[in-house]
Amino acid sequence: MSVLTSSGSRRVALLTLGCARNEVDSEELAGRLTGDGWELVDADAGNADVIVVNTCGFVESAKKDSVDTVLAAADTGAKVVAVGCLAQRYGTELAEHLTEADAVLGFDHYPQLGARLDDVLAGRRIEAHAPGDRRTLLPISPVHRPEAAQQVAVPGHGPAAGWGPRVLRTRLDDSPVAALKIASGCDRRCSFCAIPSFRGAFVSRPPAELLAELDGLSPQRSTAAV
């Protein structure tokens, strides 16, 4: 579900699959897209210019649901962009086999997602995300990671290079409860879990950033940049 606004001539719908982390990521993307002049619409309304599918890539059933959602979105006639964990994990391979998607973008594309959607609408080809082990992007020592995370695109973790001012989330539903991401990634090397390879090493968010986001999520406050 998406909130509706009356401003802007470029319409985008966000579809989110998977866990609460993806839900938070989608709300942050929604905040950035509205800041770039995009109008958020409900995918069911059938009037979106672009549908962004925030995919899940953890287990086989989730991968199938993500692919099916991309295919269904393509059937609407809108441009379709795949983001999220499945896109991050498989990138170019996914783009090769899922040609119904007009673009397959990774986390590094999130800071400029509005511009990338402009490219999609204009028919400009975007090179698909090339997967890599994101555990290598942060220092080995966890205590040094929060500062280093400012220099890479870690969804939900402050300004990255080129990210611009941090935009607090645009809520995509009217629930009185909202998830708050206090950390990302994982340092464990469980043989059954690929999440650390595409979500990266464990990194906590600074307390001041968390408090600022909580303030923005308060119903007495409007969403704002910090």
Q: Which CATH number is 199's domain given? A: 3.40.50.12160
Question: Could you give the C-alpha distances from 147 to 17, 39, 186, 187, in angstroms and in order?
Answer: 30, 33, 17, 17
Burial class (CB in 10 A: 0-12, 13-18, 19+), 46: exposed
Q: What are phi and psi of 36, to 5 degrees?
A: -90, 5
Residue 27 included in any domain? yes
> Does 222 fall in a domain?
no
Residue 225 located in a structural domain: no
Tell me, yes or no, whether 69 lies in a domain: yes
**pTM, whole model, 2 decimals?**
0.85
Residue 125 lies in a domain: yes
Q: Which residue range is the domain that position 35 belongs to?
A: 10-217
Domain-located, residue 195: yes
Does 154 reside within a domain?
A: yes
The count of domains in the chain is 1
143 assigned to some structural domain: yes
- Mind listing the pLDDT tens digit of every residue in the chain (226 residues)? 343 344 447 999 999 999 999 999 999 999 999 989 999 999 988 899 999 999 999 889 999 999 999 999 999 999 999 999 999 999 999 999 999 999 999 999 998 999 999 999 999 999 999 998 888 888 888 877 877 777 777 787 766 544 444 556 888 988 888 899 888 889 988 988 888 999 988 988 888 888 888 887 876 444 433 3
* 3-state class (DSSP) for residue 192: coil
List pLDDT tens digits, range 56-111.
Answer: 998 899 999 999 999 999 999 999 999 999 999 999 999 999 999 999 999 999 98
